[in-house]
Amino acid sequence: MHPYEVLRRPVVTEKSTLLQGEHKYVFEVADAANKAQIREAVEKAFEVKVLSVNVARVKGRMRRFGRNITLTQTWKKAIVTLRPGDSIEYFEGV
């Protein structure tokens, strides 16, 4: 898998914003991506040094649209911990 296909989008929530103080950044990643691929993709895309990668599956939720009830898609997220001196500028502007 190409490194730029691994990272889908940054996850910007209240919790992920608080994690930035601990040099941790949250991304939605491809379902087939493993920790080594995620580490390589972040290091290549943002030119930083990754210390660790934690991965979790976020289960889809039941959503209601009028009388229809559907299930949102299950997705995979990665919490990437960077070296203390490094930061990702993309998150700073958000």
In a domain, 33, yes or no: yes
**CATH code: domain of residue 47:** 3.30.70.330
pLDDT at 90 (0 to 100): 75
- Reported pTM: 0.89
In a domain, 94, yes or no: no
Domain count along the chain: 1
In a domain, 89, yes or no: no
pLDDT at 89 (0 to 100): 81
What is the spatial distance between Cα 41 and Cα 61, in angstroms, rounded to a whole number? 28
Per-residue pLDDT of the chain (94 residues; tens, 9 = 90+): 888 899 999 999 999 999 999 999 999 999 999 999 999 999 999 999 999 999 999 999 999 999 999 999 999 999 999 999 999 887 666 5
pLDDT at 3 (0 to 100): 83
* Host domain of residue 77: 3-84
Q: Residue 3, Cα to own-chain centre: how many angstroms?
A: 14
In a domain, 10, yes or no: yes
